[in-house]
Amino acid sequence: MGKSDPSPKNSEAPQADSEPRIETRCSFFGFHPEWLQKFCVFPVFLTIVCANAFVQGMVVNGFTSISIQSLERRFALTSTESSIFAGSYDVAVGLTLIPIAFVANKVNKVRTMGWGMVLASLGVFLVVIPQFWSGYYEPGSPEGDTCVASRERVCTEKRTEDFAFPLLVLGQLLIGFGASPLFTFGYSTIDEFDSNQRTGRNMALYLGACTLGPAMAFPIGTALLKTWGDIGITEPNHWGITSDEDPRWYGAWWVGWLMSGFIFLITGIPLTMFPKKLRDTDNRKAKDELQPHADLMVDLSNDKWELFKLFKLFSTNPTCMCIIVFQTLESLLMNGFITYVPKLLENLFSITAGLAALTTGVIVIPMGLIGNLLGGKLGDMENNRVPGLLKWCIACMAINTLCAGCLLLPCEGTKIAGINEYYRNATIITGLDEDSGNGIFNRRLGPNLQCNRNCSCDRKMFNPVCDESTKTSYLSPCHAGCHVEDFENSTWSECACLDTSERVLTKGWCSGECPWVKYAFFVLFAVMALFTFATGPLIQNAALKVVAFEHRDAYICYSWMWMRFAGSIPGVLAMGKIIDTACVYWKSTCFDEQGSCSVYDSNKMRIYLFVMTILVKILCVVAAFSGRYFFKPGTGDDSLMGQVSVADAVSQLEDKEPEQLSSKKANDPSSRKSASQQPRTKKSKKSSRRELKSNKTQSTTPDGKKSKRSKRSSKA
């Protein structure tokens, strides 16, 4: 083909030959040392980009969810506010998607990912700042919580949330801005730099690294949550807190974040040294074939409205939108669960924050790794073709729908006197059994009872204690009417609200009475996590294969806009709102403001979560089935759109002249240039027809049906 080109084209050949050598060389601040060039290969690139995905997963899907409960206690946040904090990351990612799609073919994608990681490290450091600017944690007055006729309350709490919450949100926004290129350019560069035959394996490794991040975060976070948050500043004993089992305990959440900020710098800077194209890319992709949807084989090169025309094209294609709907629904549910799973386990089964984080890690992380590998293997079994990928997505979602029933397993939960359990030895005070305005201090709560009428209890007091003989918990020793405290053993006696004053109350909530339900829930939840993670490589692989080669970045950005603004952000906000709706006891601050929730209705929480989960899973099955039904595999004679060598497609994309599709006048030089290329185009078409005739099996769908030839309209 090169010999048939006109002389002006040949005159530019030396520049075309020299440019690849420059763009395939690693550099460090403008220097190109020879020893650095041996690292400019795909295995090294994949290792480093997976390391960045590992750290991103550790922060966003690990430390964020682990820290939610501690952040709520430390800065007096509601679950709705904590969901805004967690969702700020997705807002930032969504806002950057259109700019990223616009510059995708104009910038060095790998270096953009690297500098994004540097920006993310600054966001991590910003999240930690409120921990040190807001003084130390004060769960209340150090005065005892026993029953006394009168008490003087000294308000020592500070309004730390006034400036802490905005800083937390701003930090998450910076993390989102920095990490957004990693999960747009990351997918496309992995597919662009290696053979399509290995896409399933590479995606499994990449998503596996994302899962390994939380795998490291959960055990580290569990250990940190067992460490008092104000290290070296205060001691928990000063507040009567003896262990992490105390509901007022808050752990050293900030240590993991601080460590992650430095790791972001270590893993991000190496990405800034990579070129736009790796040395071994052409060899790896020499035998690849493209397989896009027939209706998506269009060329909009150098159209100034190209990006928005592509978005319109994606929006009107049923298969594209079905894949996007599937991804959006999954992100809606998955992001909400990932953020609040430790807190859900803590409140559904009355376990400590550290144990909830450890349990989450033990269940989710192994299932995530196995699921990602399973999804990659299933994709390879189908030769990474779209119909086969969507078929397995349907199967995985069907299994998940059945396993969602684990949320309905009955468990009574903790019985709390005055909340969901009547006092056993109490007389209702006449005239004081009305609602006090907040729905809690009614005829069953302590201050309205004769047994603790003179104890001066209020909402600022929260120190749960347990009556082991009846498995009934009380909000505090004061609410139980206890007069004597044993500081050494952390017990309380002579409690007027018990049916006998000889019994002793111990610190903390009473444990639940349904261990078999707990274990059954864990097993079914593990199966659901396994097949949820298995769909990750499958659906992402389908998204890369359904569009034309040069449109992948635009489609990824477009799908991620849907996933963020219609999925992740509403998902985490909805989950936070569901949890707040199930709250039955809100703590108060010294300023008579609503603080964080202390007690939840576990049964109401189960029902809400089940309804949300089952609806999402069913809709995912419908979306995957519809996408497979509407898919039309593309065959044709366009060198960039049909089943041809991807290496040739990449080369032609790089060599494409701006004048080919933008000429408007017949006497324009670009028009003459296009006319001179007509014989070569016809020759290419004839050879493509001969190849199509001799390879009929390649122009059939996986179901054995011949696909229609695509019609492509070209501009003169």
Q: Mean pLDDT across the chain, nearest whole number?
A: 74
> Percent of the chain having pLDDT more than 70?
73
- Split at pLDDT 50, 70, 90, the class of 433 is very low
Residue 407 to residue 611: CA distance in whole angstroms: 9
Residue 573 has pLDDT above 80, yes or no: yes
**pLDDT for position 412:** 72
Out of 273-282, 373-382, 628-637, which region has the weakest mean confidence (pLDDT)?
628-637
User: Same domain, yes or no, for 94 and 203?
Assistant: yes
Selection from 640, 645, 644, 647 nearest residue 661 by Cα: 640
Structure-token match 């020759």, residue found: 683
Mean pLDDT of 3-20: 40
**pLDDT for position 7:** 38
User: Same domain, yes or no, for 56 and 85?
Assistant: yes
pLDDT digits (tens, 9 = 90+) for 53-103: 999 989 988 888 888 888 888 887 877 888 888 888 888 988 887 788 777
Q: What is the signed CA dihedral for 126, 132, 133, 139, rounded to 10 degrees?
A: 120
84 assigned to some structural domain: yes
Residue 152 has pLDDT above 80, yes or no: no
654 assigned to some structural domain: no
307 assigned to some structural domain: no
Mean pLDDT of 537-554: 82
Please calculate the CA angle 178-183-188 and round it to the nearest 5 degrees.
130
Domain boundary residue, one of 576, 610, 630: 630
Look up the CATH number of the domain holding residue 92.
1.20.1250.20
Name which residue leads in pLDDT, 291 or 53. Answer: 53
User: Same domain, yes or no, for 270 and 332?
Assistant: yes
User: Same domain, yes or no, for 335 and 406?
Assistant: yes
Whether 244 contacts 353, CB under 8 Å: yes
299 assigned to some structural domain: no
User: Same domain, yes or no, for 387 and 484?
Assistant: no
pLDDT digits (tens, 9 = 90+) for 502-514: 788 888 888 766 7
**pLDDT for position 302:** 59
User: Same domain, yes or no, for 390 and 530?
Assistant: yes
Mean pLDDT of 117-126: 93
Mean pLDDT of 262-291: 77
**pLDDT for position 431:** 37
**pLDDT for position 323:** 93
What is the secondary structure of 299-319 as a DSSP string?
--TT-TTHHHHHHHHHHT-HH
- Split at pLDDT 50, 70, 90, the class of 554 is confident
**pLDDT for position 322:** 92
User: Same domain, yes or no, for 433 and 558?
Assistant: no
Domain boundary residue, one of 574, 597, 630: 630
User: Same domain, yes or no, for 144 and 89?
Assistant: yes
Write out 671-691 in H/E/C secondary structure. Answer: HHHHHHCHHHHHHHHHHHHHH
226 assigned to some structural domain: yes
**pLDDT for position 708:** 41
Name which residue leads in pLDDT, 372 or 286. Answer: 372
Write out the residue range of the structural domain in which residue 701 sits: 675-716
The kind and range of the H/E element at 208 are: helix 199-225
Residue 360 to residue 214: CA distance in whole angstroms: 10
User: Same domain, yes or no, for 423 and 397?
Assistant: no
User: Same domain, yes or no, for 171 and 231?
Assistant: yes
Whether 115 contacts 268, CB under 8 Å: yes
Out of 125-134, 246-255, 607-616, which region has the weakest mean confidence (pLDDT)?
246-255
Hey, what amino acid is at 607?
I
**pLDDT for position 543:** 86
User: Same domain, yes or no, for 270 and 338?
Assistant: yes
Selection from 391, 353, 692 nearest residue 508 by Cα: 353
DSSP bridge partners of 415:
472
473 assigned to some structural domain: yes
Residue 365 to residue 216: CA distance in whole angstroms: 9
User: Same domain, yes or no, for 473 and 598?
Assistant: no
Mean pLDDT of 309-333: 89
pLDDT digits (tens, 9 = 90+) for 338-360: 778 888 888 788 777 777 878 88
CA distances from 233 to 135, 240, 301, 473 (A): 9, 16, 62, 32
Residue 418 has pLDDT above 90, yes or no: no
Whether 414 contacts 510, CB under 8 Å: yes
Structure-token match 């990681």, residue found: 117
Whether 671 contacts 616, CB under 8 Å: no
310 assigned to some structural domain: no
Whether 48 contacts 303, CB under 8 Å: no
CA distances from 364 to 334, 359, 377, 621 (A): 12, 8, 20, 22
Residue 556 has pLDDT above 90, yes or no: no
**pLDDT for position 346:** 80
**pLDDT for position 118:** 93
In this structure, what DSSP letter does residue 251 have?
B
Count of the separate structural domains present in the chain: 3
Residue 569 has pLDDT above 50, yes or no: yes
540 assigned to some structural domain: yes
Mean pLDDT of 110-138: 87
**pLDDT for position 2:** 40
**pLDDT for position 366:** 86
Helix (H, G, I), strand (E, B) or coil at 143: coil
Residue 295 has pLDDT above 60, yes or no: no
Of 111-125, 215-229, 265-279, the range with the highest mean pLDDT is: 111-125
Which phi and psi angles does 76 have, rounded to 5°? 55, 50
Whether 353 contacts 225, CB under 8 Å: yes
**pLDDT for position 221:** 84
**pLDDT for position 705:** 43
